[in-house]
Amino acid sequence: MNKILDDNYYDLIISNIMIPYYDTGDNITHMNIRNSLAHVPNNPKDPCDLGIHPYNAFPSIATLSSTVSLERSGVGTVQRNPHMALFGRGIIVAVLDTGIDYQHQAFTYHDGTTRILSLWDQTIQEGSPPDGFTYGTEYTREHINVALKSDDPLSIVPSVDTNGHGTAIASIIAGKSSPEYSFSGVVPESDLVIVKLKQAKNSLKKIFFVPEDIECYQETDLIIGIAYVTSIAQRLNRPIVICIAMGTSQSSHDGRGATSFITNYLVQQPNIGITISAGNEANKHRHYYNSTTAVPFQNDFELRVGGNDKLFAIELWPLIPARLSIEIIAPNRESTMEVHPSLGVCRRFPGIFIPSVVWINNYIFEEETGDQLILLRFQDPIPGNWTIRVKNLDNGPFSFHAWLPSADLISEETFFLYSDPNTTITSPGNATSPLTVTAYNQFNNSILPESGRGYTRTGFMKPDIAAPGYQLTCAVPGNQYGSITGSGTAAAHAAGIIAMVFEWAVSRGNYTNITGIDVNRLLIRGARRPSTTTYPNIVWGYGQIDINTLFERLTRT
pLDDT at 1 over 70: no
- Band (pLDDT 50/70/90 cuts) for residue 69 is very low
- Sorted by sequence, the CB contacts under 8 Å of residue 315 that are 6+ apart come out as 249, 250, 373, 374, 375, 376, 402, 403
**Model pLDDT, residue 4:** 95
- Sorted by sequence, the CB contacts under 8 Å of residue 361 that are 6+ apart come out as 50, 51, 55, 345, 346, 347, 373, 374, 375
Distance of CA 388 to the CA centre of its chain: 28
Strands (DSSP E) found in 357-509: 357-363, 373-379, 384-392, 398-403, 415-416, 435-441, 446-447, 465-468, 472-476, 480-484
Nearest Cα residue to 10 out of 204, 174, 192, 186: 204
Per-residue pLDDT reduced to its tens digit, 353-375: 999 999 999 999 999 999 999 99
What's the N-to-C CA distance of the chain in angstroms?
62
Beta bridge partner(s), residue 241: 93, 273
pLDDT exceeding 90 applies to what percent of the chain? 91
Distance of CA 240 to the CA centre of its chain: 18
Burial class (CB in 10 A: 0-12, 13-18, 19+), 32: middle
Amino acid at 158: P
Cis upstream peptide for 296 (omega within 30°)? yes
Mean pLDDT, rounded, for 477-497: 95
Count CA atoms closer than 13 A to 226's CA, side-chain side. Answer: 27
pLDDT at 160 over 80: yes
Q: Are strands 346-350 and 246-247 parallel, antiparallel or unpaired?
A: unpaired
Cis upstream peptide for 41 (omega within 30°)? no
pLDDT at 540 over 80: yes
pLDDT exceeding 70 applies to what percent of the chain? 98
What Cα–Cα distance (Å) separates residue 57 from each residue in 2, 11, 210?
20, 8, 17
pLDDT at 19 over 90: yes
Distance of CA 470 to the CA centre of its chain: 19
**Model pLDDT, residue 180:** 87
Task: Write out the CATH class of domain 67-281+427-507.
Answer: alpha beta
User: How does DSSP classify residue 503?
Assistant: I
Mean pLDDT, rounded, for 401-415: 97
Decide if 496 contacts 186 (C-beta within 8 A): yes
CA–CA gap between residue 259 and residue 432 (Å, rounded): 11
Mean pLDDT, rounded, for 287-302: 97
Decide if 230 contacts 193 (C-beta within 8 A): no
CA–CA gap between residue 244 and residue 91 (Å, rounded): 17
Per-residue pLDDT reduced to its tens digit, 89-138: 999 999 999 999 999 999 999 999 999 999 999 999 999 999 999 999 99
Beta bridge partner(s), residue 40: 10
**Model pLDDT, residue 423:** 98
**Model pLDDT, residue 415:** 98
Summary count for the chain: helices (H), strands (E): 12, 27
Beta bridge partner(s), residue 2: none
Decide if 194 contacts 165 (C-beta within 8 A): no
**Model pLDDT, residue 86:** 84
- Sorted by sequence, the CB contacts under 8 Å of residue 155 that are 6+ apart come out as 147
Domain regions of the chain by residue span: 3-59, 67-281+427-507, 287-416
Nearest Cα residue to 169 out of 140, 198, 132, 195: 195
**Model pLDDT, residue 73:** 64
Per-residue pLDDT reduced to its tens digit, 193-224: 999 999 999 999 999 999 999 999 999 999 99
Domain at 287-416: CATH code: 2.60.120.1290
pLDDT at 271 over 70: yes
CA–CA gap between residue 429 and residue 434 (Å, rounded): 8
How many Cβ atoms sit within 10 Å of the Cβ of residue 384?
14
Decide if 360 contacts 336 (C-beta within 8 A): yes
Q: Is 112 left (phi over 0), alpha (psi -120 to 50) or beta?
A: left
Kind plus residue range of the DSSP H or E element containing 145? helix 141-149
**67-281+427-507 shares its CATH topology with 287-416:** no
Mean pLDDT of the chain, nearest integer: 94
3-state DSSP call for residue 72? helix
- Ranking 30-34, 40-44, 387-391, 407-411 by mean pLDDT, the lowest is 40-44
Global model pTM greater than 0.85: yes
Decide if 166 contacts 100 (C-beta within 8 A): yes
Q: What is the DSSP string of 157-206?
A: -----SS-HHHHHHHHHHPPPBGGGTB--S-TTSEEEEEEPPPPPHHHHH
pLDDT at 557 over 50: no
3-state DSSP call for residue 209? coil
User: How does DSSP classify residue 153?
Assistant: G
pLDDT at 181 over 90: no
